[in-house]
């Protein structure tokens, strides 16, 4: 309950929404990169299109659509790669900026200015490697024998935990040591694994249902809603670390400046800096 209360005090909902929106925007250049990769692969392998269609189990019009898309990707692979990678870098920095704002709000710390940009680039490079390693576990899990499959799940949890320990430690402007960030990272890692399992069932249904009601715009609603769940989970993980740290190390009281309002004297504020109580300055 204390974690949930703190989440509300710092405006966790809007922070999670900013992370979700930035992540959604980054999907578009990511799709361009995927198109470029498909174009380069298919141009060197004449059987790629038929193999992909066979793996997906597509027939008729759906198979023709995928085949046409692959042919288009081959023709636009160079332009898509340049635009995609450039856009992915810019949108990735936007995602990292939203993460930094959320983590600093949880710790009530200020940003580091231009240094945050350099930290963001470093994080993107390292996180990209970890994301690729985590994504590779999907095919590995599909082909692994039964007794080995639980090990791949454990490895996925470990990689995600390492990713978010590093995320909480490097992106936030709080020098408290990596061990402090471990509980929240474990929470996020377990939550991510659960959401991936649930999402494999719910997200296709949500997309299909939204598409039937609202057309292409429905896909946007479904994806944004799911990304918002991920965003809230990340902020909750950061808040959990802060609450645990305060219980162990205590807190300090600092003075803050607020706008002067005639006839009111602010007494206390909440964690977000909003005045919670005030009295009439003219009262006896």
How confident is the prediction along the chain (284 residues), in pLDDT tens digits per residue? 999 999 998 999 999 999 999 988 888 877 777 777 777 777 766 677 777 667 656 566 656 776 777 777 666 666 667 777 788 788 888 889 999 999 999 998 888 888 888 888 888 888 878 777 776 666 666 666 667 667 777 887 888 899 899 999 989 888 888 899 999 999 999 998 888 877 767 766 666 665 555 556 666 777 888 899 999 999 999 999 999 999 999 888 877 777 888 877 776 776 766 666 554 444 44
- Rounded distance between C-alpha atoms, residue 84 and residue 92, angstroms: 11
Rounded (10°) angle between helices 216-249 and 2-9? 110
Q: What is the dihedral of CA 73, 79, 83, 89, to 10 degrees?
A: 80
**Bridge-partner residues for 265, per DSSP?**
279
Q: What is the C-alpha separation between 23 and 194, in angstroms, rounded?
A: 19
Token pair in block for residue 200 = 């494999």
Query: 110 and 273 in contact (C-beta within 8 Å)?
Result: no
Q: Reduce the DSSP state of residue 16 to 3 states and report it.
A: helix
pTM equals 0.76
Q: Where are the alpha helices (DSSP H) in 108-148?
A: 114-143
């Amino acid at each position: 309950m204390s974690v949930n209360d703190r989440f509300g005090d710092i405006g966790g909902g809007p922070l999670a929404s900013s992370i979700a929106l930035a992540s959604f925007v980054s999907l578009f250049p990511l799709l361009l990169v995927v198109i470029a990769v498909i174009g380069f692969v298919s141009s060197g392998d004449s059987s790629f299109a038929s193999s992909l269609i066979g793996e997906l189990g597509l027939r008729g019009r759906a198979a023709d659509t995928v085949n046409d898309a692959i042919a288009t990707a081959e023709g636009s692979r160079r332009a898509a790669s340049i635009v995609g990678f450039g856009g992915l870098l810019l949108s990735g920095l936007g995602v990292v900026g939203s993460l930094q704002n959320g983590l600093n709000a949880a710790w009530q710390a200020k940003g580091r200015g231009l240094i945050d940009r350099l930290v963001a680039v470093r994080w993107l490079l390292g996180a990209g490697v970890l994301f690729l390693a985590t994504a590779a576990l999907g095919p590995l899990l599909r082909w692994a024998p039964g007794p080995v499959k639980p090990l791949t799940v454990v490895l996925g949890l470990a990689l995600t935990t390492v990713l978010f320990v590093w995320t909480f430690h490097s992106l936030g402007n709080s020098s408290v040591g990596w061990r402090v960030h471990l509980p929240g990272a474990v929470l996020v890692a377990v939550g991510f694994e659960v959401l991936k399992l649930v999402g494999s069932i719910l997200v296709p249904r949500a997309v299909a249902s939204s598409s039937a009601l609202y057309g292409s715009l429905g896909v946007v609603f479904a994806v944004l809603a799911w990304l918002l769940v991920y965003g809230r989970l990340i902020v909750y993980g950061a808040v959990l670390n802060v609450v645990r740290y305060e219980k162990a190390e205590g807190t300090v009281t600092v003075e803050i400046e607020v706008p002067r309002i005639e006839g009111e004297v602010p007494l206390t504020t909440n964690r977000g800096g909003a005045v919670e109580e005030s009295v009439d300055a003219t009262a006896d």
